[in-house]
Amino acid sequence: MTKEELVARLRDIEWDDFEVKAAKSDLPKNVWETVSAFSNTSGGWIVLGVKQSGKSFEIQGVDNIEKLEQDFLGTLRSGKFNQTIFASSKRYDIDGCNLLTFHIPEADMKPVYFGNPVNSFIRMGSGDQRATEGEIRGMFRNQSFGNKTEETIRDTGIEMLNLDTLRSYRFALGQTQNLLELREADDVEFCEKVNITNQGQLTYAGLLMFGKAPYVLRYVPTFCIDYIEIPAPTIQQAEVRYTYRIPEQENIWEAVQIIMRRLRTLVDAPIHIKDDGFATTDDSQYNVLREALANMVMHCDHFDSLRSCIRVYTDHIEFMNGGAFPLPVKDILGKVYSKLRNPTIAKLFRYVGIAENAGYGMNKLVSWETLTGMRPTIESERTIATVTFPLKSALQRKGVGDNVPVNVPANVPANVPANVPANLTETQHKILELIRNNPHITHLEMAKALSITDKTAKRATKFLREIGLIERTGSDKNGKWECIVND
């Protein structure tokens, strides 16, 4: 900091990285709180020899500047703090008064405290505040940022996974061109190769992604991914608390599958009917929300008691996450950035195409403005990260949009259920009706009943699954369809 910069700051109100103290001949007692606060936040300058009166500063100077400097730097190296703080000092002469300044760098390993962790402080605005118990715990967990979910859990094994969930994931992986070499691998080999297990023992990432509920909650009792739809712009305006809330799910993969189906109904997805009668959709907006969901899970501190939650209001959707980003948002946006709290979980999402390639996820989120004309907000505090997307209009609570193309077939069944879009093709309507009447119907039976090919029937059911109207439970051979419609 130059002399001119110091003078400029003294003419302004106190900044969040700038603290003045009237130290005449002794170090003020609360200077160590500021050292802790700057170390635990973003670093800053301590200026000795200036008295603050309201919003103005009075330069008084210090006596015996050499002693103050030695006392301050010596204390930082004396073991007073839980780690050594490498501060730099600088002296100034302003109007004949000696000022002594120290620059406190942001610590790599937090929290920085003196005595015991209770004496951890953080910078809030232009003042120091004692960190809360939750903030202190969060800082300790961040010491292993990117490592905690990679750890193995003693005395665990693949039998603690929900194998139906794992096979659901492997089916989704089979729809991509990723990890082709593992297509024929058994579950044991597959889990080892993708770090679900490590030498037969589960990693926290593998357990969180695919574990059975009793084991997930035994080893990660704070696990939760919440999703709530609120019928108003704010919680206070809602006549009822919510119209939908996701039931508790066993693991991340199960929760994400349900949430993705809900997200698809919240955004515009223009449908185009081609000449051959098949429909294509523009999923650009949905893909942004899906990326936000994956981003939330990849950056979530799953060991924090703060519940990660998606709140859907009538005019915006909010992804609120336990665990801040490792860097300020301004340092991430517009750059190819990749530093994840949960690397294995991130890779598992990328393998199945739910998340962007490493480093591009944040840029995907800000593309919302280009797609909708409305700017999202991305905020990251010490223990919470929040991403908010404005929505164009009130949500269609029946679960569908109103983007009906001009060339919609007119020959559709009567008494169509309430949440079935009017823009389905005739074939899709008929297959939906067949599934309602016979949940065990096969694609071959659909093809015979409608005089279409087996491939056409598969394309139709794939589309109906993508828009959340049907689900498939169990295996292809012995499973059944579930028709999700509202009469």
Q: Are 251 and 217 in contact (CB under 8 A)?
A: no
| Domain co-membership, 171 together with 130 | no
Give the side-chain half-sphere CA count within 13 A for 58: 8
| pLDDT value at 396 more than 60 | no
Q: Which residue has the higher pLDDT, 427 or 134?
A: 427
| Domain co-membership, 222 together with 311 | yes
Confirm whether 459 is domain-assigned: yes
| Domain co-membership, 103 together with 174 | no
Please write the tens of the pLDDT for every residue from 430-459: 888 888 888 888 888 888 888 788 888 888
Confirm whether 356 is domain-assigned: yes
Asked, as a colleague might, if the bond just before 413 is cis with ω within 30 of 0, I would say no
Range of the domain at 287: 149-390
**What CATH number does residue 27 fall under?**
3.30.950.30
Can you say whether residue 421 is alpha, beta or left, with left for phi > 0 and alpha for psi between -120 and 50 degrees?
beta
Taking Cα atoms as reference points, which of 474, 472, 35, 453 lies closest to residue 277?
Answer: 453
CA distances from 431 to 20, 280, 289, 469 (A): 73, 17, 29, 11
DSSP string of 385-438? EEEEEE-SS---TTS------TT--S---SS--TTS-TT--HHHHHHHHHHHH-
Domain closes at, from 85, 110, 142:
142
Confirm whether 406 is domain-assigned: no
Please write the tens of the pLDDT for every residue from 66-101: 999 999 999 998 889 998 899 999 998 888 888 899
Please write the tens of the pLDDT for every residue from 36-54: 999 988 788 898 988 877 6
Please write the tens of the pLDDT for every residue from 214-266: 999 999 998 888 999 998 888 888 888 888 998 888 999 999 999 998 988 88
Q: What pLDDT score was predicted for residue 129?
A: 86
Q: Which residue has the higher pLDDT, 143 or 25?
A: 25
Domain count of the fold of the chain: 3
| Domain co-membership, 105 together with 186 | no
Query: 191-195, 238-242, 268-272, 310-314: lowest mean pLDDT where?
Result: 268-272
Q: Are 230 and 142 in contact (CB under 8 A)?
A: no
- Mean predicted confidence (pLDDT) in 189-196: 94
| pLDDT value at 333 more than 70 | no
Query: 165-174, 211-220, 432-441, 464-473: lowest mean pLDDT where?
Result: 464-473
| Domain co-membership, 218 together with 198 | yes
Confirm whether 226 is domain-assigned: yes
**What CATH number does residue 459 fall under?**
1.10.10.10
Against a cut of 0.85, is the pTM above it? no
Q: What pLDDT score was predicted for residue 398?
A: 38
Q: What pLDDT score was predicted for residue 395?
A: 37
pLDDT tier at 181 (50, 70, 90 boundaries)?
Answer: very high
Q: What pLDDT score was predicted for residue 406?
A: 35
Confirm whether 112 is domain-assigned: yes
CA distance 277 to 453: 14
CA distance 299 to 341: 5
Confirm whether 413 is domain-assigned: no
- H or E, element range at 448: helix 443-450
- Average pLDDT over all residues of the chain: 80
**What CATH number does residue 185 fall under?**
3.30.565.60
| pLDDT value at 359 more than 50 | no
Q: What angle do CA 218, 220, 224 make, to 5 degrees?
A: 115
Q: How far is CA 79 from the centre of its chain?
A: 37
Confirm whether 400 is domain-assigned: no
| Domain co-membership, 311 together with 254 | yes
| pLDDT value at 467 more than 60 | yes
Confirm whether 71 is domain-assigned: yes
Torsion of CA 49, 52, 53, 58, to 10 degrees: 40
> Percent of the chain beyond pLDDT 90?
26
| Domain co-membership, 327 together with 467 | no
Q: Which residue has the higher pLDDT, 126 or 245?
A: 245
Site of tokens 């610590």: 107
Please write the tens of the pLDDT for every residue from 5-27: 777 766 655 556 788 888 877 88
